[in-house]
Chain A
Amino acid sequence: MIEKKLQIINKLGLHARAAAKLSHLANMYKADVFLIYNGDKVNAKSLLGILTLAASVGNEITIQARGSDAKEAASAIAELFQRKFDEES
């Protein structure tokens, strides 16, 4: 299992469009991917699941990925966070 800690650095946090991008990306991998924040663990492939975390800028999220392509999934998601979900230049 791969586990990474990710900082939310985009201004709007995990809002609807960011969550849509994240779940779309997670769905491209076979691995089970979960996000953990503030004691809640949600399926990263579920848009609504991600939204229920209500995570904002500055918050730290833990990502867990399990499966044959877990490493690639976790890296791709970490990169999406780094790119601020392509919302800001």
Chain B
Amino acid sequence: MVKGLMITHGKLGKELLDVAEKILERKVDVTHIPFDWQGDGSDMLRQIERFIHAHRDCDIVIFTDMFGGSPANIATRFVGPRIEVVSGINLPGLLKFLSWQERAINFKELIKRIEQEAKDGITAMSAYLGEKKHD
């Protein structure tokens, strides 16, 4: 079983999860921890620790919005054999995770697929249209 944790600046992660639920038309099993702009991150740290402890028998993916941002920096302390942090998450990457979360798939393979889908989901549309025209 793979558990998902979403930690982003502001409500970005919550909104991503809400949109994913609308697209998939079902509740999704990803926990959102809001980032406290005023705090020093210690509250977030404790919440992550609690989540990891509660799901210590599971693989865990922690999604954050930007490499080098506070949420990613805090989450990265927890990276280990069964915990991965994916920074720069977007809707395609999240949907990929949600599609494969409950299937029997190797954890490293799952992470690779999420990363690839999130990268592939970024497209400069003029270049895309140009390719189409040349077909």
A interface vs B, CB < 8 Å? 16-17, 20-21, 23-24, 27, 38-39, 47-48
CA gap between A56 and B43 in the complex, in Å: 47
Min CB–CB distance B29 → chain A (angstroms): 16
Known contacts A38-B135, A39-B135, A48-B95; decide if A20 and B117 are in contact (CB<8 Å): no
Interface of A is mostly: helix
With a CB–CB cut-off of 8 A, which chain B residues contact A38? 132, 135
A47 close to B95 (CB less than 8 A): yes
Q: How many A-B residue pairs have CB under 8 A?
A: 25
B135 close to A16 (CB less than 8 A): no
Known contacts A23-B99, A38-B135, A39-B135; decide if A48 and B121 are in contact (CB<8 Å): yes
B135 close to A17 (CB less than 8 A): no
B92 close to A17 (CB less than 8 A): no
CA gap between A3 and B23 in the complex, in Å: 28
